[in-house]
Amino acid sequence: MLNRGRLAAMAGVLFVALAVWPAHAAAGDGDIPDAVPCSGDFRVVTAVLTRVSAANRIVSVELFPPETAVNPGDGVLWLNTVPGAVVQVLFETTPPSAGKSVAMSPRSGRPYASAIMEPGKASLLCFQTSGIFPYRVQIATPDSEIALRGVVVVGQ
């Protein structure tokens, strides 16, 4: 169940996502726009700062939502909302288990890796084929590195 603070944070994230879209939406591979345009909707995924220490250091960050369901032709927009941190989305290079897929960059033909995103920046990837695509979000702050795991489920 969501508390009011968390609900307000998610509403703020949605507001920021709408404000930066499409101005800051870029695919990986060096901020070059995706070669395959999205023909459908898009979903927003963000890293949400959930706890800060008394010394103003990041203690806890969560991926919201950790699992994102889209249809073929839809896109996923990752948004960096963590103050003072850079973020990168990296898809697994090999399927971790049966039934999982690797999200390939439409430009390079290699597993997708977003550009490194400063706070307030976003990265968009369009999914054309059905599958289950595991990924991780690397978050680097001056004090630490955090890795969060997520999955995009397309057409299932």
Say what percent of the chain tops pLDDT 70: 66
**pLDDT tens-digit map of 107-143:** 666 788 888 999 999 988 888 888 888 899 999 988 8
Strands 42-52 and 75-80: parallel
Q: Give me the pLDDT at residue 12, please.
A: 46
The stretch 27-31 carries a mean pLDDT of: 38
Domain tally, the chain? 1
d(CA 110, CA 44): 23
pLDDT level of residue 87 (50, 70, 90 thresholds): very high
d(CA 37, CA 115): 18
Residue that wins the pLDDT comparison between 18 and 40? 40
Report residue 119 as tokens: 């706070």
Q: What is the CATH number of the domain that holds 122?
A: 2.60.40.420
Average pLDDT, the chain: 73
The stretch 86-94 carries a mean pLDDT of: 83
pLDDT level of residue 71 (50, 70, 90 thresholds): very high
Q: Give me the pLDDT at residue 107, please.
A: 65
d(CA 138, CA 87): 6
Report residue 41 as tokens: 């909707």
Q: Give me the pLDDT at residue 36, please.
A: 56
Q: 38 lies in which domain range?
A: 4-154
> Which residues, including other chains, have CB under 8 Å from residue 60's CB and lie 6 or more apart?
49, 50, 51
Q: Is 151:133 a contact under the CB 8 Å cutoff?
A: yes
Q: Give me the pLDDT at residue 3, please.
A: 43
Distances (CA, A) of 124 to 12, 32, 41, 59, 68: 19, 10, 12, 27, 13
Q: In a 3-state reduction of DSSP, which class is residue 76?
A: strand
